[in-house]
Every structure is written in C-alpha cells, then in structure tokens.
Structure 1
Amino acid sequence: MHHSRLSTLVIDCQTGDLSDAVEFWSLALGKNVESYDEDGDGKYARLHTENDEPVVLLQKVTHDSRVHLDIETDDIEAEADRLERLGAKRVNKVQDRWWVMEAPSGHRFCVVRQQRKPFGPHLNTWT
C-alpha cells in the first residue's frame, strides 16, 4: 500500500533570471513570494500557499516554458508503476529523487517524494 496526491504546480521558465517571472506570477496569482531561491542554486522559487493548496514552484529551465504537475508519494517506485499501468511512460529518473513521466496525452509530469508532512486532507491510498 502507498499514498499519493497532487503536490505541486511547477511553472517552468526559460529565463536567465527567475526574479522577473517570480514577481509576475506572485502578482498574477495573488500569492506572496515565500522564497526567491528555494535551494540556494537559483533554479527554484516558491510562492506561499496554504497547507491544503498545491505548492506553486517556479523552476528555471533550458527547454520551452510550460507548466507541469508534480505528484508526491511515499513510494516513488510504486506510484510510477501504478501510473505505468494507467498508460504513462517513464522518461527519466533524476538523481534517484524523482521520475519524469509522460501521460498518454503527451503531457510531462513528475513523481516526487512526499513534500509536506502530513500529507493532508486530499490523500489517495493505493493497494
């Protein structure tokens, strides 16, 4: 048995400087900036969301700008297996920390480790 839920809306930004994108999305979504540099490497910024809302993360990328979803889980391999059975494909495992997946519709998304503890009210239990 494992658990998963929608975790994060990731705004992928093809930009040299993430701060302008952070300012725009903060104002557009009415969310304060929680961190301009989430991991200290200049690649991630986070907007403030409440515990029952998805995280809104901005990510500096080299590919075209887009939005993708993260699904958080307490068992990354079991969740990736479950999603494969639904028709998704594994695309790339990143540093043994998450899977980039592709839905049958062609959309990319990630399966990541649990981001918030506890999971919260919108938890799915899978067997």
Structure 2
Amino acid sequence: MACRISELVIDCADPEGLAAFWSEVLDYVELEREDDGSIAIGPPDAGFGGPQPTLVLSPSSTPRTGKLRLHIDVNATDRDQDAELERLLALGAEPVDVGQTGAESWHVLADPEGNEFCLLRTRLKPL
C-alpha cells in the first residue's frame, strides 16, 4: 500500500489573498476556514480526498528566508503555455530568475507572496 498527497500546506502572511490567487490559478473553491485563519481550497467537485490535493493557506508571521525547498509545478489544461503565462501574470504572478538559461521549456513564476512555482509546457487533460 502507498500514500497519496492529499494536502499541501503553505504558510503565508495573507491566507485570504493567497487563497484567492491559487483558486483562480487552479480553478479551486474555498472548502473550509479554520478558527486559526487557515483557508483550505480544492477542486469544486471533489474537495478533500479527490484526485488533486487541496491547498491549505495557513497564517504565519515568520518571514521566509532563502530558496523554497519544495515548489509547485502547474500545466495548462485548456490553452497553450503562452496564453496561460499571460493569464497567470494578469492574476498577479511575477517572473522570477532562479538562474535559468532561457532555453528551458518552463517559466519560473512567483505567487503574490513570492513562493516560486513553474508553468510547464505540456497541456494536460482536465480532470
């Protein structure tokens, strides 16, 4: 028997803002709010435990230092990479230089709190 990733928890200064950003990026909806200010978002039809992991945006006042040791990769499902890049930038993502050569097939971006993620080239089928 094996495990499956069910949630990814992101510590952040503004759970509300980051939940709004990632909900738009992933077409997720709010699933739950905790008394501590955490907001869980996930797929609208499946919610927690479905084929895609939920994200939990957890409030933290601890500033991030250094490079993230884990990052999220995303793929467009209904448009090509260039169109998806434009959409992500319009949502508030920012390009990030982490030492790319310019020949990569992916784009490195940061969410509104500076968490790096990559937009990969391959278009995936929607779930």
TM range (shorter): 0.3 to 0.5
- Greater fraction strand: 1
User: TM-score if structure 1 supplies the norm length?
Assistant: 0.40
* TM-score normalized with structure 2 length: 0.40
